[in-house]
């Protein structure tokens, strides 16, 4: 699941990576006891492994290779041997499960925190980042980090402990010979040191080249249409072959070196055994030690090199977990640009009347490029406000600010006199709702999608909401009605059907203030009529701001704000603005609309005297 060799973040040297790993260590702290238990189990398992040659030694020295061999003794030893093995196997089994469980639990926590951390970020965070990268952070980088807690950690304690125990056992047997054996340790270090630098370099090269392949593939898969239309398949294939070849060569070079490294250690092991046979054999000859002792020493020295080899194999695991940890840390370090105040204003949704004020608001997505300039207006509770203007005039930004996706750079926005920055975001979003142009569905049933999986909206409320906006007829036509499974990507609903579900959603949530963003621009003319009926139901009894692309939509509005290049240039009722004979009047004249019949989006077939979006209903507001 993980392509952990993805683009190494710039500047993620070993130092930064190590630092990031240690920053994740607090996640391991609650599992201290688990790790200690694992340690204990490893000790038991290792003890049993170390005991095994020792038992054979006892059998040889005490029972077999003596003047009066005792079969009884051998029998006892064999039983003990089996008991030791069983204990060892059980300990090992428990250790595997416990460690995996611990590792998985830690990763689960990291994942959960990472996910919640990302969801807490303000919209500017998402503007700057590719979605795919974030998904990779959550799904595969965490997986790679888990290998640190399972594989690397395990290797470190199991193999480290093995080495220590073997050494201790050797000293127990014979201090003198054991001391002589210790010569291999500096040699091991020397060999490791010799290879380490090169190994790391080659590992990095391979990883970088693989990440080039990934980047190339990701880009070319996304742009396959372009390649095919411009008929550059051969050329791109050649480019890919080049990258692929570079990676292949680096990979082989890395592999060759690591084979050489491991074989050198093995050669050292063989040299050690030969030396042991020589030194030990001479000692046996001179009766300095028993033969069984020599046997044990030879076994130990062979065992000694297994954990050493295994630790060196974990080198790559450590490297890739450091890279992954660095990437996770990069996300976790970002503080949300918008946070709740320490002591949020108390807001009771039922008491809020829905008066919206923009008080000399300035805003820009980038410094020095204001999108909204000195926006100042007030919407009385229950009013219906239209916002018009050309693409890029700043209409959507008003919605973004009212929902606090971003904070204004100057000025303030108030609901019932309370600055929205003083409210908890959850409270604000209970008051203000939005309907977007594109509707997002979640994997789940229709019902789940209306109530957004929330507990505070029960099935009955959801169904009532669907009925209110007229979505029930559509839903009942679906194969399983409200229980029909929907998919985020699978387009098993048409645009209009999706839109109706989003209306039902907003009615179920029942906000006091509602912002509609070009909500019907996507609809085909056929579904337009029933969606408009739904909209009328949604807007009832709420303060409503509609970002309009069609003048007919807002004809009946209590007030129309005309935006031009980030400023409100005109404001008033439809008739007033016409009388003003300014920007809006010009817009209107050009549209050739006299009675709201011929409007963008209402194809000729729809010209049945539709009185605009809200029709007569708007009067009621």
Partner 1 sequence: MTVQFPHVLGNFTDALQARRLTGHSIAMYSLTLLAIGALYMVLYGIGQLMNGHLGRAFEYQLRERLFLHWERLSASYYHRRSTGDLLNHALNDVRAVREALSGGMNILFNAIFLLLSTLYMTFRTVSVKLTLVAIIPILFVPLFVVFFGPRLRDASRQVQEALSDVADLTEESLSAIRVVKATSNEAVEARRFRTRLNAIVARQMAMFRRSATFQSLIPLMGSISFAIALLYGGYLTVSGRIHLGEFVAFTLYLTMMIQPLQQLGFVFNNFQRASASLRRLTVLLTEQPDIADAPHPVQPGHIKGEVEVRLREYRYPGGNRAVLRQVQFHIPAGQTLGIVGRTGSGKTTLVNLLPRIFDPPPGAVFIDGIDVRDLALADLRQAIAYVPQDGFLFSTSIGENIGFSREAATQGEIEEAARLASIHEEIVDFPQGYDTLVGERGITLSGGQRQRAAIARALLKQAPILILDDSLSAVDMNTEKRILENLRRVRRGRTTIVIAHRLSAVRHADQILVLDDGEVVERGTHDELVAAGGVYASIYAMQEGGAVG
Number of residues that bind partner 1 (CB under 8 A): 160
Q: Does 367 bind partner 1 (CB under 8 A)?
A: no
H-helix segments, 71-174: 71-120, 123-128, 131-136, 142-147, 153-173
- Smallest separation, CB 354 to partner 1 (Å): 16
Helix axes 525-539, 459-468, angle to 10 degrees: 120
Q: Does 337 bind partner 1 (CB under 8 A)?
A: no
Q: Is 272 helix (H, G, I), strand (E, B) or coil?
A: helix
State the Cα–Cα distance between residues 385 and 482, nearest whole angstrom: 34
Stretch that binds partner 1, among 18-26, 152-160, 433-441, 458-466 (CB under 8 A): 433-441
- Tell which one of 295, 300, 363, 482 touches partner 1 (CB under 8 A): 295
Q: Is 548 helix (H, G, I), strand (E, B) or coil?
A: coil
H/E stretch holding 474 reads helix 472-477
Give residues 529-558 in contact with partner 1 (rule: CB under 8 A): 549-551
Q: Does 267 bind partner 1 (CB under 8 A)?
A: yes
Nearer to partner 1 among residue 22 and residue 248 (C-beta)? 248
Q: Which residues of 529-564 are buried (b: 16+ CB within 10 A; e: fewer)?
A: ebbbbbbbbbbeebbbbbbbbbbbbbbbbbbbbbbe
Q: Does 52 bind partner 1 (CB under 8 A)?
A: yes
- Is residue 392 within 8 A of residue 566, CB to CB? The reply is no
Q: Does 77 bind partner 1 (CB under 8 A)?
A: yes
**Residue 365: CB atoms within 10 Å:** 13
State the Cα–Cα distance between residues 38 and 347, nearest whole angstrom: 50
- Smallest separation, CB 271 to partner 1 (Å): 6
Q: Does 600 bind partner 1 (CB under 8 A)?
A: yes
Give residues 380-419 in contact with partner 1 (rule: CB under 8 A): 389-393, 403, 405
The binding track of 108-127 with respect to partner 1, each residue x by CB under 8 A or -, is x--xx--xx-xxx--x--x-
State the Cα–Cα distance between residues 574 and 589, nearest whole angstrom: 12
Q: Does 100 bind partner 1 (CB under 8 A)?
A: yes
Give residues 2-41 in contact with partner 1 (rule: CB under 8 A): 2-3, 5
- Tell which one of 41, 60, 398, 401 touches partner 1 (CB under 8 A): 60
Q: What are phi and psi of 361, to 5 degrees?
A: -90, 130
Give residues 456-485 in contact with partner 1 (rule: CB under 8 A): none
- Tell which one of 82, 164, 182, 337 touches partner 1 (CB under 8 A): 82
- Tell which one of 27, 35, 54, 101 touches partner 1 (CB under 8 A): 101
Stretch that binds partner 1, among 32-40, 181-189, 256-264, 326-334 (CB under 8 A): 256-264
Helix, strand, coil distribution of the chain in percent, nearest 5: 65, 10, 25
Q: Does 578 bind partner 1 (CB under 8 A)?
A: no
Stretch that binds partner 1, among 32-40, 177-185, 248-256, 472-480 (CB under 8 A): 248-256
Q: Which residues of 168-186 are buried (b: 16+ CB within 10 A; e: fewer)?
A: ebbeebbeebbebbeebee
Q: Does 312 bind partner 1 (CB under 8 A)?
A: no
């Amino acid at each position: 699941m993980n392509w952990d060799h993805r683009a190494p973040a710039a500047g993620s040297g070993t130092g930064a990576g190590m630092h990031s790993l240690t920053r994740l260590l607090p996640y391991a702290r609650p599992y201290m006891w688990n790790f200690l238990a694992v340690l204990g189990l490893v000790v038991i398992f290792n003890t049993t492994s170390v005991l095994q040659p020792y038992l054979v030694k006892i059998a040889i020295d005490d029972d077999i290779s003596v003047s009066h061999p005792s079969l009884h003794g051998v029998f006892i030893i064999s039983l003990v041997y089996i008991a030791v093995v069983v204990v060892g196997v059980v300990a090992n089994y428990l250790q595997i499960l416990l460690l995996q469980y611990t590792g998985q639990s830690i990763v689960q926590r990291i994942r959960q925190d990472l996910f919640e951390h990302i969801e807490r970020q303000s919209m500017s965070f998402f503007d700057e980042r590719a979605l795919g990268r974030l998904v990779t952070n959550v799904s595969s980088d965490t997986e790679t980090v888990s290998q640190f807690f399972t594989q690397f950690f395990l290797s470190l304690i199991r193999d480290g402990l093995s080495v220590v125990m073997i050494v201790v056992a050797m000293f127990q047997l014979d201090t003198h010979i054991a001391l002589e054996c210790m010569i291999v340790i500096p040699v091991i270090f020397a060999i490791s040191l010799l290879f380490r630098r090169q190994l790391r370099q080659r590992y990095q090269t391979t990883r970088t080249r693989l990440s080039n392949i990934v980047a190339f593939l990701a880009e070319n898969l996304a742009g396959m249409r372009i390649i095919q239309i411009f008929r550059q398949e051969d050329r791109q294939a050649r480019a890919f072959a080049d990258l692929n070849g570079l990676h292949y060569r680096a990979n082989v070079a890395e592999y060759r070196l690591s084979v050489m490294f491991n074989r050198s250690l093995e050669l050292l092991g063989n040299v050690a055994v030969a030396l042991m046979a020589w030194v030990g054999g001479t000692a046996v000859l001179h009766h300095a030690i028993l033969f069984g002792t020599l046997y044990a020493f030879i076994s130990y020295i062979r065992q000694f090199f297994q954990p050493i080899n295994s630790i060196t194999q974990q080198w790559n695991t450590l490297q890739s977990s450091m890279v992954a940890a660095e990437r996770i840390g990069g996300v976790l370090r970002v503080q949300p640009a918008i946070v709740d105040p320490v002591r949020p204003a108390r807001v009771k949704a039922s008491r809020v009347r829905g008066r919206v004020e923009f008080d000399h608001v300035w805003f820009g997505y980038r410094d020095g490029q204001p999108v909204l300039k000195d926006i100042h207006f007030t919407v009385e509770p229950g009013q219906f406000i239209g916002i018009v203007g050309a693409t890029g005039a700043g209409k959507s930004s008003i919605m973004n600010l009212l929902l606090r996706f971003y904070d204004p750079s100057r000025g303030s926005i108030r609901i019932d006199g309370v600055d929205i920055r003083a409210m908890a975001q959850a409270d604000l979003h209970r008051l203000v709702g939005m309907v977007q142009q594109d509707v997002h569905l979640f994997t789940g049933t229709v019902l789940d999608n209306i109530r957004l999986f929330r507990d505070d909206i029960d099935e009955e409320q959801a169904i009532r909401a669907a009925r209110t906006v007229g979505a029930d007829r559509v839903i009942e036509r679906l194969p399983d009605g409200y229980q029909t499974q929907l998919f985020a990507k699978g387009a098993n609903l048409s645009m209009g059907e999706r839109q109706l579900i989003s209306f039902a959603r907003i009615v179920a949530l029942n906000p006091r203030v509602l912002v509609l963003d070009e909500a019907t621009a996507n609809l085909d003319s056929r579904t337009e009529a029933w969606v408009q009926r739904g909209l009328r139901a949604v807007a009832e009894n709420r303060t409503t701001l509609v970002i309009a692309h069609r003048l007919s939509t807002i004809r009946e509005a209590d007030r129309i704000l005309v935006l031009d290049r980030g400023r409100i240039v005109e404001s008033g009722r439809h008739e007033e603005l016409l009388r003003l004979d300014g920007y809006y009047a010009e817009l209107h004249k050009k549209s050739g609309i006299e009675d709201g019949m011929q409007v963008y989006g209402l194809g000729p077939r729809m010209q049945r005297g539709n009185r605009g979006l809200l029709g007569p209903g708007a009067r009621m507001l």
